[in-house]
Amino acid sequence: MQKIRAYREAIRQAGQDGLSLRLRLFGFLFLFLNAIMLGVLVMLFATGVFQTGFREHRSLLQNELSHLSQAVYQNYGEISVRCVALAESLSSSLERRCREQGIRPSHLQDSPQLLEELLSGELSSLTGALEKAKSSGVFLVLDATVNPDLPDARFSRACLYLKNMEPNIVSGLDANLRYLIGPMKIARGRGIQTLPQWRMEMDISSAPYFSGTVGTARQEKLPTSRLYFWSPATVLPGGSERAMLCSAPLIASDGTVMGVCGFEVSEMLFKLAYAPDSDSHEQLFCMLSPEKEGQFHVSGALFAGRSATRPFAPDNGFLMIGQDPSAFSSYRQPEGELYAGLHREIMLYPKDSAYQGERWALALMMPRRVLAQHVSARTHALLLWLFLLMGLDILLSFVISRRYIRPVLVALESLKQPDLASASKTRIPEIDDLLEFLQSQDERGAPPPQQESAPLLRSSLYQEFTKNIGTLSAAERSVFDLYMKGYTAREIADVLCLSINTIKTHNRRIYSKLNVTSRKELMIYIQMMGEAKADI
Amino acid sequence: MFKRRKRAVCLALCLSLIAVLPGCGQKTGPDPKHPVTLEVWHNFGGQMQATMDGLVDTFNLTVGKEKGIVLNVTSVSGSAALQEKLTMIANGDPGAPEMPDLTTCYPATAVLLQEKDLLAPLDEQFTQEELSLYLPRFLEEGRLSDGKLYVFPFAKSTEVLFVNQTLFDRFASETGVTMNSLSTFEGIAKAALRYYEWTDAQTPDLPNDGKDFYTADSAFNLAQVGMRQMGGSLLKNESLDLSSPEFQRIWDAICEPAVKGGYALYDGYSSDLSKTGEIVCSTGSTAGILFYGTEITYPDNTTERVEYSVLPFPVFQGGQKIAIQRGSGIVAAKTTPEKERAAAIFLKWFTDPEQNMKFIASTGYLPVTNEAFENSMEQEIADNENIQKLFRTAVEVHAAYDFYIPPVFDGFNSLSSNYGKDLLTCLQRAREQYLALLETESPEDAYSRVSREALEAFRQQP
């Protein structure tokens, strides 16, 4: 505390008396070190270190996106291929069965009593296909209904829909197979448990995976491999889970479209298969979404990531894609939160597909504010380090200035001593030289000013001095006498064959007894005695 | 100088202690800055899954966010499939998945996991005061052989009788059978035989095409509870005791309608049969209520809107009113202290009356806390009419019935499933033999013979 007060006082005095050596040195050092630090800071800005956070996150997301989009492309591609193969196999099988029953594929609806048998005959093909595909469900929908007389018959189609409850687990498929849609008799005959949402037929009132695929197949004369369709994610009628369906038309040899078949990718499967590795980004999630005119149509998207981070109710429209200043893309839902991330187009169809215009993209994103928090946390850490460095500068300046100036101050103090010869070495050559110089000057003695000696001769101090000469010992007297004769201390030591230190000891006693404080004063008295021709 | 250094060392030590000591009083738990992710498995399908997903999302966005816990549901499968997977884990079977941090689990399966030291005891995570909020018999069911609580109750169920009131009224108006007959198993057996005759008579040109009236989702539960109602026990020394006169009564109540017609012999859930109008009533878990729906779909794709009634579990004539207490609980895997603590935080939140009632109001389960059971059940909390009916019956059963908790021992699961399979096989064979014998013998003689033989065959099953 005292020191701080002293420094404060010194600074206050500096304005009046000029800056002390220590303060000057402290100031110079502080400016010097901080100038270096400022230079470093400018370099950091110039080299974009403060943007590194964004760059690192971008690189991380880029890698993750690359990995996930590759996985999605491969798995969805594989499902597409299996879907086409299943459609071709079922088409020929159904056509054969129709022929056996004596009906033409184009007249399927004329024999509703045969539908159950046709579906039942294909059950094994469907379970076999489901077992091989990384899919959560398989379906076969015939373009016919068991009861065309019902009021809603135009929206009802004979169907078999089986779900694999755990497509991600390698285990006996039978244990996890459930019956979602189809005649109950088939399920009971095969011992397959039904789901609570069981329906006898498929409701196609809002089913692009049926109507769209069948309609396109009837219009476009293309091979099945160019007619499969990935529907945007939807909840099946009566169900609760969202899923994407890949459907391919069942085309008989005469070109009749008998229905569709395909595979399902449920949201659970998508989540398990494509959840981003997000140990460092808890709120990162992945989204496979239809993309149209710079917007993600999230109502048809599937999400993967920790469930808490799913950003919005999927029923809510779309996300607008924009460019973020931080080199990420920005995604904003009208009146919703802003997200930042990256996306990449996923090719779900070959170039000459009937659906080549349909664009899908895989996006990795997180709330923009979360990304900003991640990045600013890093910048804050950097700034904190710079401030710490500045504190260290102040401390170093203080310590160095203090340590450097201390011997100078000591030397200056020693100059004030009566006997320069007794001043200790500073180990600073320049100061030691100065001390020696002053000491030699001291030893030679300086002529006292003439005008001052006359009054002094009459002074009581002079009287006292001459009186005290009598108190000197013999050894001291001999030294004093030689001083009187104009010898220096070294010469006296040589004459008396004594060491210089003994002479110094004698000097101290002589000063003490004669009541003088320095050699200079002693020489003045000796000179005065000479002038007065005093008889000693 | 020395003094100053000493003072600095003391100051440093004090600061270190101040920094370290606060941690001594706290339990190791999750940290919002470093959230723990808990993998969750459950067996709720359909509407229940939507409810569960909604609650998981709510937790993640509220308490989970605040405390640093993220629940990640990674498997939703049927009850049997889930228990099978957990058994695979307990047995260390090849291809067995990783043990999840939280999963729904029956006590019988939990025994296997606990024997392999895979489960975390949950008592330590709850204070006595917190545990006292739960119905004691629910907690008791979750305590395993070492007396510790491993299977935490989150929702329980009992068995009730679901009656398709629309079909029953049609039958009753023609035959005079009353709802009272459905209060005993003997009464159900008689009504079943009568229903089969009545429906058979509607197509005189097709003999023996009558419809079934009743089935039990679990014949094993029916036998266990029936024996208890009559003061006996189906299990003796961890194996079946089928020689008692009480079991003979159970056999008689099942076998006659099963062989003569009226009792559905089906290896699946009774709701499957209900959806197509092939049975009129069934005993099953309260949690199955949503599976029944509100309409019947006939083979020609026509549908009929129907109403269901929910009655207390039937009793064998002269027997005590006893119903089974069933339902899985949630077990937590033995992992890190942070995860175990996080699991307990979720369980507390999930079973808090507010959340608990949200869950049961859309699933048909029964709540587990005293407060929820006693104060909330009679309120009209459920949108679904069938669930409201169910709750009214559940309150009645809760007040008038004693509850039977199945024992927990190694091999209980296989004993239970083998009983069901063997009974079904024996009765199906007996039915076929009976129909064949009708060509040459009177119905009574034919039944008498096949019934005796079927019982012998059933008793001799390994």
Q: How confident is the model over B179-204, as pLDDT tens digits?
A: 999 999 999 999 999 999 999 999 98
Q: Tell me if chain B has a CB within 8 Å of the CB of A21.
A: no
Determine what percent of chain A is predicted with pLDDT higher than 70: 85
Max distance between CA atoms of chain A, in angstroms, equals: 165
Q: What is the pLDDT of residue B26?
A: 46
* Structural domain count, chain B: 2
Nearest-Cα distance to chain A for B230, in Å, is 33
Please report residues of A whose CB lies closer than 8 A to that of B362: none
Residues of chain A contacting B302 with CB distance shorter than 8 Å:
147, 150
- When pLDDT is averaged across residues A457-464 and rounded to a whole number, the result is 75
> How far apart (Å, rounded) are the C-alpha atoms in residues B264 and B257?
9
Q: Are A310 and A303 in contact (CB under 8 A)?
A: yes
What's the pLDDT band for B12 if we cut at 50, 70, 90? Answer: low
* Count of Cβ atoms closer than 10 Å to residue A395 Cβ: 10
**Chain segment A57-95, per-residue pLDDT in tens:** 888 889 999 999 999 999 999 999 999 999 999 999 999
With an 8 Å Cβ cutoff, are A307 and B47 in contact?
Answer: no
Min Cα–Cα distance to chain B from A381, Å: 16
Angle at A408 between CA A407 and CA A409, to 5 degrees: 90
Span B54-72, average pLDDT: 87
Amino acid, res. B347: L
Using an 8 Å CB-CB cutoff, list chain A residues near B43: none
Among A143-147, B111-115, B291-295, name the one with the lowest average pLDDT: B291-295
User: Residue B290's pLDDT is what?
Assistant: 81
Taking the Cβ of residue B364 and every Cβ of chain A, the question of whether any pair is shorter than 8 Å is answered with no
In this structure, of A44-48, A131-135, A326-330, the range with the lowest mean pLDDT score is: A44-48
Distance separating alpha carbons of residues B352 and A6, to the nearest angstrom: 66
The 3-state secondary structure of A330-349, one letter per residue: EEECCCCCEEEEEEEEECCC
Same domain, B372 and B440: no
Confidence of residue B13 (pLDDT cuts 50, 70, 90): low
Contact of B127 with chain A, judged by CB distance below 8 Å, is answered with: no
Q: How far apart are the first and last CA of chain B?
A: 90
- The sign one gets for the Cα dihedral A240, B82, A139, A317 is positive
Domain co-membership, B88 together with B132:
yes
Q: Residues A384-406: what's their mean pLDDT?
A: 85
Question: What are residue B444's phi and psi, to 5 degrees?
Answer: -65, -45
Q: Among all chains, which residue has been given the structure tokens 């398990």?
A: A272
Q: What is the pLDDT of residue A305?
A: 80
pLDDT in tens, B206-244: 888 899 999 999 999 999 999 999 999 999 988 999 999
Q: Nearest CB to B95: which of A147, A171, A307?
A: A171
B222 and B308 fall within a common domain: yes
| B214 and B232 inside one domain | yes
Mean pLDDT of A478-502: 87
Selection from A298, A301, A277 nearest residue A288 by Cα? A301
Q: Which of A184, A188, A240 sits opposite B50 (nearest CB)?
A: A240
**B233 in a structural domain:** yes
Contact B57 A240 (CB under 8 A): no
A226 near B CB under 8 A: no
Q: Per residue in A256-277, pLDDT tens?
A: 999 999 999 998 889 888 988 7
SS3 B380: coil
Asked whether residue B397 is domain-assigned, the answer is no
- B313-337 burial code (b ≥16 CB/10 A, e <16): bbbbeebeebbbbbbbbbbbbbbee
Q: What is the pLDDT of residue A6?
A: 67
- As a whole number of angstroms, the distance between CA B3 and CA B10 comes to 11
Judged by a CB distance cut-off of 8 A, whether residue B61 touches chain A is yes
**Residue B308 falls inside a structural domain:** yes
Q: Point out which residues pair with A214 in neighbouring strands.
A: none
Q: pLDDT at position B21, please?
A: 46
Interchain pair A198, B80: CB under 8 A: no
Q: State the pLDDT confidence band at A375, using cuts at 50, 70 and 90.
A: confident
B97 Cα to chain A: minimum distance (Å): 7
In a domain, B418, yes or no: yes
- pLDDT of A265 reads 94
Token digits of residue A216: 């396109």
CB contact A198 to B (< 8 Å)? yes
Residue with tokens 């600073």: A428
Name the nearest CA neighbour of B310 among B202, B160, B428.
B160
CATH number at residue B365: 3.40.190.10
Say yes or no: B416 and B295 in one domain: yes
Give me the torsion for CA of B104, B110, B113, B118, rounded to 10°. Answer: 60
Is residue B450 within 8 A of residue B434, CB to CB? The reply is yes
The token pair that represents A457 in the structure block: 């001769």
* Same domain for B350 and B317: no
- Please, how many CA atoms are within 13 Å of residue A209, restricted to the half-sphere of its CB? 28
What average pLDDT is seen over chain A?
84
Question: Which among A64, A100, A69, A83 has a CA at the least distance from the CA of A134?
Answer: A83
Question: Given a cut of 80, is residue A185 above it in pLDDT?
Answer: yes
B267 or A97, which is more confident? A97
Phi, psi dihedral angles at A294 (to 5 degrees): 70, 25
Report residue B228: phi and psi, to 5°: -65, -40
Instruction: Mark whether B434 and B306 lie in a shared domain.
Output: yes
Residue B451 falls inside a structural domain: yes
pLDDT of B119? 95
Percent of chain A with pLDDT over 90: 33
CB count within 10 Å of CB B69 equals 27
The mean pLDDT value for B246-274 works out to 93
CB A331 within 8 A of CB A341: yes
Q: Per-residue pLDDT for A172 more than 90?
A: no
Answer yes or no: do B57 and A191 touch at CB < 8 A. Answer: no
Is some CB atom of chain B closer than 8 A to the CB atom of A517?
A: no
Q: Do A200 and B268 count as a contact with CB atoms less than 8 A apart?
A: no
Q: Residue A51: pLDDT band by 50, 70, 90 thresholds?
A: low
Query: Residue B383 pLDDT more than 80?
Result: no
CA distance linking residue A39 with residue A384, whole number of Å: 17
Shortest CA distance to A370 belongs to which of A42, A150, A57, A87?
A57
Answer whether residue B136 is part of any domain. Answer: yes
Mean of all residue pLDDT scores within chain B = 87
Q: Are residues B192 and B64 in the same domain?
A: no
Give the range of the structural domain holding residue B350, as residue numbers without chain letter: 36-156+327-376
Predicted model pTM? 0.74
Is B82 in contact with B104 (CB distance < 8 Å)?
yes
Long-range Cβ contact pairs of A175-183 (< 8 A, separation 24 or more)? A175/B80, A175/B81, A175/B84, A176/B77, A176/B78, A176/B81, A177/A127, A177/A130, A178/B78, A180/A137, A180/A236, A180/A239, A181/A139, A182/A119, A183/A116, A183/A119, A183/A120, A183/A146, A183/B299
Residues 6+ apart with CB under 8 A from B71: A307, A308, B37, B38, B40, B56, B59, B60, B64, B102, B346
B291 in the same domain as B317: yes
User: Are both B334 and B199 inside the same structural domain?
Assistant: no
pLDDT bracket for residue A16 (50, 70, 90) = low
Distance CA B402, CA A64 (A): 57
| Residue A12: per-residue pLDDT | 67
Greatest C-alpha distance within chain B = 118
Q: Tell whether the model's pLDDT for residue B274 goes beyond 60.
A: yes
Q: Please indicate, yes or no, if residue B351 is contained in any of the structural domains.
A: yes
CA distance A336 to B141: 47
Closest to B41 (Cα-Cα) out of B67, B74, B71: B74
B78 plus B140 within the same structural domain:
yes
Domains detected in chain A: 54-373 (no CATH), 429-532 (3.40.50.2300)
Task: Please check whether residues B270 and B346 belong to one and the same domain.
Answer: no
Cα separations (Å) of A275 from A241, A267, B174? Answer: 17, 11, 60
Q: Tens digits of per-residue pLDDT, A135-145?
A: 999 999 999 99
User: Of A429-433, A522-526, B113-117, B440-444, which gets the smallest average pLDDT?
Assistant: A429-433
Residue A223: its H or E element:
none
Residue B22 lies in a domain: no
